[in-house]
Structure 1
């Protein structure tokens, strides 16, 4: 029953309703589910793990980061206790396949959320023996191809958190470039079907994969972007590599805003979901530090306001932060000339063509260098008062949580 009610809660949370409401979508079902859920039982079950994952997922939308983290952690430990991470050849193939799917789903959800909080990854790949490939087709519509791609991306995410964000490890430009090469190889080796369309009718799984891929590019390179903006990074050293890395970060930010825009156009934009807010906010922070694509900022701000007005807790919090950022940047940037300009498309050019070209450009190594590119990402400390500069840099470092761990 707890599993049933959390399914209803998430369903209501993701309904695209625009009328004013007196309570959070799905909260009544959620409260019923948590009252019925038994987390103290000594015997873990498949359905308990599924329920924990869904409860954690719903709580993301409530902006309850630590509570969601705790539920995902419980799900991982129950999975380990049941041996879902091990290949059990003695079991029927159907049961093995169900266990395989649940384990890798649990692994992906926990790894991605752990990375969002900047926490250590819980399970090492060397301790896992269950296959990532489908063992048997159950003919139930489950997309194992997408799951496998998400697993590969989660593994890369875990590696990045161990190098770029591990506090006991010194980060270098080579570490950043190595992570980018892994992400580029991942994108290059995706199955053809996942490289042919991003916006698919009534199916967000491919778009979600690319949103997550771009987000990982952003969190990988964002420390470099921030250090150049603040003036801590000497751009005379490794200038070509720095330029290429920052270009890719800015490109990923632009791509994610445009993917979200096109999802809104086709009615698949999630006003109450957590991740759409996170992808949007991370992208906007990168673009605020770069004047090369500032024309996307107003459109991105419109998307965040749409979610904020719908009652999305995270979007409301981000709207307050973005207004403060606007105020700080107005001290040295003329926003009057900025116009909202998201990528539009005609009948001759599909949004998928535009988005796929944009993704391809992120992972294409360009030999030429743009000596003027880094001029767009430079410290403005001399143009504002010390207090304004301190507030600006402190906010940019702390607001997107992974960036300061």
Structure 2
């Protein structure tokens, strides 16, 4: 069995991979929904947009469940604090996500234009709200979340929903919206027929430009917010008790990670470079297939930037900095992590192979002619 330290690092990396998987796989579904009212000029074109994700969105959402499950099993204190403190925000996300299956199923049940337009905007909300809230959550993590533990490890959260909507967190929310809009537009440029694809490419390129600007502003802003630094030496194979360490705050501490580990600079470079490459590749229909890859790399770079910036923290505490959760004191037991790792090594490749096979079967563009020829067989 690997050492406790190695297992904790592996599960920290796997958590990051799963979060990137959520953003890449479910992200283009959300981005497609955000663009739906704008790239589809007619009812048929909007049905084309919906049917590009119709067969795959449920499978993509499994990545969200996997991410939540991994947090629950590998990092129980993180699950307890995040899912309790962000309860109302997550409730909003769930309400928005519920609009997706309802919109897909009910939109085409009636031919009334008003009925269909209402569901189109419901799908838009179902894409925009989760994208925004997920980014807001990352913004609050970077600033620290107002929670503490007492001596019996009972958690107290002293924040509220409106406190989460602070200026820096909203900036991160806008970064998330721009990022997923870019990703959804790149996907549509590859999967939709020419007219819709051209509009989607236009919006995706503009979203990429906004992403680059907001990501840069966020990087500068981070230099002026308080980061968190663990004082002294913490045993990497010690007990999962966050009260056994001391943490101090320091302005710009998050950026110090990049000075200590220069290789971590690859993450923001990938975030910026992937967005720039997406813009370039979207100029020609011949390179749309590569644009979605560049967009996915940009998404991965943006998320990795946030995760690497706060390492070894998982969830800092602004209320009691020493109660913040770090990789070395917030995990499950060594045996639990090992058993989960074995299960992951067995089943994750199966999931990836099956997913690749599904997308191969569903390759090709969705056209208006196909939608018109299948009035009851598609959304």
Instruction: Tell me, yes or no, whether TM beats 0.5.
Output: no
**Larger RCO (alpha carbons 8 Å, 6+ apart):** 2
Structure holding more strand per residue = 2
Taking structure 2 as the reference length, the TM-score comes to 0.29
